A and B are shown apart, each in its own frame.
Chain A
């Protein structure tokens, strides 16, 4: 799996959009970008994933650059409950290692009242 680079921490004011960047410059053509988050003392929670098109669901939006070397997770209206560690993961859907998620250290997002 390609490696990802994320800032170690970010702050966001409550009610504002949180934009979390991720670099994955060595991503392969068949690898997806996944985002998970982990709230303190809980297991990771799936947020969203995409291949090349932008994606949106009830939790967040995922913007992937045209060259696919970076992406941004957008939480449109951050709340205090969004305070968590956010992990950006690149994963293939077939072949060796496609079954596992390789977590880095993620970005610690703190939503401030």
Chain B
């Protein structure tokens, strides 16, 4: 399978605990994105990387959230001191940057987080 892989698929955690999600992008893609999706809404942008550099963070990404992409390969998204409002689907996507537009992003199947 050469798609975008996310692990775990589901995570249930108690409020106040820390959680970490992993994303493995398509190997030749140099851009990686994290999105969050709540029930009934479209995905919302959180942050993106070009290679190992984190180039943009949304205002949605509070200081409890941190994302890394060491060596420009896989990425992790950590949420510290989880709150019930963090319950959502966390989606990872990757793309190959093409200056004049080009193909779309490839999304993973997401990690569904439930904070109880």
The interface of chain A, by Cβ under 8 A from chain B, is: 32, 34, 36, 41-47, 49, 51, 85, 87, 93-94, 99-106
Contact = CB atoms under 8 A, between A and B. Distances in A.
Chain B contact residues: over half helix, strand or loop, or mixed? Answer: loop
A46 B99 contact: no
Contacts of A32: 101
Contacts of B105: 44, 46, 101
Interface of B: 4, 31, 33, 40-45, 48, 55-56, 91, 93, 98-110
A93 B40 CA distance: 28
Given A93-B99, A99-B31, A49 B42 contact: no
Contacts of B106: 46
The secondary-structure label for the interface of chain A is: loop
Contacts, number: 57
A49 B108 contact: no
Max chain A C-beta neighbours (<10 A), residue from B44, B91, B93, B104: B104
| Nearest 4 pairs of A and B residues by beta carbon | A46-B104, A103-B42, A43-B107, A93-B101
Contacts of B98: 93
Contacts of A51: 101
B114 to A, nearest CB: 14
A97 to B, nearest CB: 9
B91 A100 contact: no
Contacts of A102: 45
